Chains A and B, each alone.
Chain A
Amino acid sequence: MARLQELAERPTALTGGHRLCPGCGEPIVVRQVLMSTDDPVIAASCTGCLEVSTTIFPYTAWDIPWIHIAFENAAATIAGIEAMYKALKTKAEKGQPLLDYIDPDADYKFVAFAGDGGTYDIGIQSLSGAAERGHDFLYVCLNNEAYMNTGIQRSSATPMGANTTTTPAGSVIPGKRKHRKDLTAIMAAHDIPYVAQSIPGRWRDLTTKAARGFEVDGPAFINVLTPCPLGWRCEPALTPEISQLAVDTCLWPLYEVDHGEWKLNYTPKEKKPIEEYLELQGRFRHLFRDEKGEEVRKRMQEFVDYKWEQLRERCGEE
């Protein structure tokens, strides 16, 4: 495990000068993930904020090989690259000459970065297929809980109560009416080597998990709650703190499933009420106006409590 100073001194594979918003959690997550391995890394992204903001032609912020094909196929894309790498390595093992640009001694790593729309919704088939086939790749979901690139539309990662442009808070309907789905658990149900949840605000947690994700032989999935100041309507400077509050309210627990073993990585000393997290974000402001909003907050708290106990049980916590 590298120390913070060592990590900070590593060359950055995602350079500055990209056009992501101030306070966006995505480049923080991407850098932490990429600095978690010393092996050569090839990255794929789905269509989304990260892709459009880091690559507008003729510029690129990527200092590693990077590809984007479409929206719903980040997993199939990284799987195709990994498949070609495996094919060429296998041919070399059979005695055919390895192409000279491939380092025979290196252990290449493959990572996909995709948003929650490209992962929970339109890309879930591609992800599920690649996970089941057992490609050796790390998939990082930059989960900001809505379609931010197209202007804050709801996804199946959007929490109940959130005001998005397709679940607007109105005089009759108070934002999104359904809870988000538990994609991390869905990925754990694929029985792949490694699944985890993390946040950008805890570098040691995220870099340790990314390193583990790169290390295991087979698919790894890390779901990172990634604040979006624009879509969440929160202070850009508070990105790490808000992500920490998601953890301290048990709304986004830090845990991992390593080869089937569920492990809770962090238990808050005092479980905070969700209001402390919600009130910092404009997307939940309408929930503090009237009784209807109070009712939604109550249901949200009940859901958080239920999921937290379910997780504790899975992790064997007393």
Chain B
Amino acid sequence: MPQVKPMEGNQAVAEAMRQINPDVVAAYPITPSTEVVQTFAQFVADGEVDTNFVAVESEHSAMSACTAAAAAGGRVMNATSSAGLALMWEILYITASLRMPVILTVVNRALSGNLNIHCDHSDTMGARDAGWIQIYAENVQESYDNLIQAVAIGEQMDVRLPVMSCLDGFLVSHSYELLQVEDDEAVRDFVGSYQPRYPLLDVANPLTMGPLDLYDFYFEHKRDQWAAYEPAKQAIIDVGQRFDEQFGRSYGLFEEYQLDDAEIAIVALGSMAGTAKDAVESLRAEGVKAGLLKLRVFRPFPAEELAAALSGLEAVAICDRAASYGGAGGPLYAEVTSALYVAGASVPAINCIYGLGGRQIAPDEIINIYRDLERVAEEGQPDQPLEFIGVRSFDKEEHADKYAF
């Protein structure tokens, strides 16, 4: 029988890993994902899984060993955050290029500097072009559900891509919620047994992997890789439906919350969407036609589907928990507005950068974003679409003592 238990996000992830029972986990500790690894290490120590757990000396070696272990032919998982993901950077691209379905939990955390251990999406947003599928969770239950689905998605034969299953550091990873834990057998049936493809351990059919690949073939290989993301999108939809049929919780590329008849809406990733739902309810009670689009899948980016869902709005606020310094707004803003443009949808769009380094976002602040949207809906696209939410501005003269020069 499925059981409902209070669990933190990290524990929920470790629990899903226990049920999935991967062959190899090669991991390194980093706040706030450490607990995933140490909880899982205890499962290994207690013989609850068959996994060969490799406690490597760095994240670079973690992702190298994970990629190689997957190439050898088996199911591989790992967890990291922030600087850990950054140290894996070089290998992330190679994992995807070799088409190894490594499943990586990323507990999102700010990148240095300055040093900060709390949530934002700078880490995974920086890795967005590495070729990994990226799925974001709003809460503990989704963190658990997404990880189980990630295995089925990444390992599908026409996909064969690595997957980052993302949850917000501390806000989800260290928050207790009631989690519905499915039966071990049901989870194992859902993910199925690992189907190897060109395993390196097949010594009778020796294969050369990761050769030198120059201008005469590299480009074709990259184009072939590009072609995997359309089936990946379909796999995410199909696996989400199958998950719904088996466990009764439905998942797609994104969740539309009060969006059908909305005039103004927010687009957000991760735990902020939960707070935004409360804000939408407050505004709806006032008669404001507010809605929310919670993006679940950032890679492959569902540009057409997203533009179709947003095209009827009078104004939209795209909320980024990451900055793209010197860029045209945050990464989510750039991609959503690009999708709207290509679809010919002329929706005024503002970019709200919020929550960097774990700065909380309160319901009132989200309500204020909707208030701004009401104005934008009336006045049209503002000259300056970028807003920083919840950040203080110091008057240099008033606070002269805080400035050294």
Footprint of B on A, CB under 8 Å? 40-42, 44, 51-52, 55-58, 60, 62-70, 72-73, 75-81, 83-88, 90-91, 94, 96, 99, 101-103, 106, 108, 125-126, 128-130, 132-133
Cβ–Cβ contact A78 & B68, under 8 A: yes
Q: Which residues of A contact B263 (CB under 8 A)?
A: none
Q: Tell whether B209 is near chain A: CB-to-CB under 8 Å.
A: yes
- Among the stretches B58-66, B292-300, B370-378, the one at the interface with A is B58-66
Q: Which residue of A lies closest to B210 (CB)?
A: A68
Chain A residue with Cβ nearest B214: A56
The reply to whether the CB of B261 lies closer than 8 angstroms to some CB of chain A is no
- The residue in chain A whose Cβ has the minimal distance to the Cβ of B208 is A60
Interface contact B91-A62, CB-CB below 8 Å: no
Contact B61 A125 (CB under 8 A): yes
Q: Contacts A65-B200, A77-B64, A90-B52 given: A57-B69 contact, CB under 8 Å?
A: no
Most chain B CB inside 10 Å of its own CB: which residue of A56, A84, A96, A128: A84
Pair B210/A67 contact, Cβ less than 8 Å: yes
Interface residues of B in 36-69 (CB under 8 A from A): 50-52, 54-58, 60-62, 64-69
B61 and A129 form a contact (CB under 8 A):
yes
How many residues of B are in contact with the other chain, CB < 8 A?
49
For A101, give its contact among B71, B76, B204, B214 (CB under 8 Å): B204
- Judging by beta carbons under 8 Å apart, are A102 and B201 in contact? yes
Most buried by A among B62, B66, B200: B200
Closest to A129 in B: B57
Closest B residue to A132 by beta carbon equals B57
| Contact partners of B208 in chain A: CB under 8 A | 55, 60, 62, 66-67
Known: A70-B64, A73-B91, A76-B65. A87 touches B199 (CB 8 A): no
Given known A-B contacts A80-B66, A125-B57, A64 and B212 have beta carbons under 8 A apart? no
Known: A70-B94, A80-B24, A80-B26. A126 touches B68 (CB 8 A): no
Tell me whether A73 and B61 are in contact (CB under 8 A): yes
Q: B207 contacts the other chain (Cβ, under 8 Å)?
A: yes
Q: How far is the CA of A42 from the CA of B202 in the complex (A)?
A: 9
5 A-B pairs within 8 Å (CB atoms) are namely A64-B203, A69-B91, A81-B71, A101-B199, A130-B61
From A51, A81, A96, give the contact of B200 (CB < 8 A): A81
Q: Are A99 and B203 in contact (CB-based, < 8 A)?
A: no
* Residue pair B206, A80 in contact (C-beta under 8 Å): no
For chains A and B in complex, what number of residue pairs have CB atoms within 8 angstroms?
A: 178
Docked-complex contact A133 and B206, CB < 8 angstroms: no
* A42 CA to B200 CA, complexed, in Å: 8
Contact A65 B64 (CB under 8 A): no
Most chain B beta-carbon neighbours within 10 Å: one of A52, A69, A72, A90: A69
In the bound complex, do residue B209 and residue A83 qualify as a contact, i.e. CB atoms below 8 Å apart? no
| A57 partner residues in chain B, CB cutoff 8 A | 211-214, 217-218
Q: Give the chain B neighbours of A41 by CB distance below 8 A.
A: 203
Of A44, A70, A83, A102, the residue contacting B24 (CB under 8 A) is: A83
B73 at the interface (CB under 8 A from A): yes
A94 to B71, alpha carbons, bound, how many Å? 23
Contact indicator A126/B203 (Cβ below 8 Å)? no
Asked whether any CB of chain A lies closer than 8 Å to the CB of B365, the reply is: no
Distance in angstroms from A74 CB to nearest chain B CB is: 9
A65 touches B211 (CB 8 A): no
Complex Cα gap A44–B70 (Å): 14
Shortest Cβ gap from A194 to chain B (Å): 21
Closest CB-CB distance, B175 to chain A, in whole Å?
Answer: 33
Cβ of B58: which chain A residues have Cβ within 8 Å of it? 125-126, 129
Which chain B residue lies CB-closest to A91? B50
Interchain nearest-CB distance for B250 vs A (Å): 33
Residue of B nearest to A59 (CB): B211
Q: Is B72 an interface residue when CB atoms closer than 8 A count as contact?
A: yes
**Which residue of A has the minimal Cβ distance to B66?**
A80
Contact of B64 (CB < 8 Å), options: A62, A88, A126: A126
Which residue in B62, B71, B203, B209 is a CB contact (below 8 Å) of A103? B203
Provided the pairs A66-B208, A99-B196 are in contact, do residues A73 and B60 lie with their beta carbons within 8 angstroms? yes
Q: In the complex the two chains form, what is the Cα distance from A85 to B217 in whole Å?
A: 31
User: What's the least CB distance linking B221 to chain A, in Å?
Assistant: 8
Which of B69, B203, B210 sits near A40, CB closer than 8 Å? B203
Q: Is the CB of A69 within 8 A of B61?
A: no
Per-residue CB contact flags for chain B residues 176-214 toward chain A (1 = under 8 Å, else 0) read: 000000000000000000001001111111111111111
Choice from A63, A73, A75 contacting B206 with Cβ under 8 Å: A63
Chain B residues in 8 Å Cβ range of A40: 203
Q: Is the beta-carbon distance between A80 and B67 smaller than 8 angstroms?
A: yes
With A70-B94, A129-B57 in contact, is A80–B69 under 8 Å at CB?
A: yes
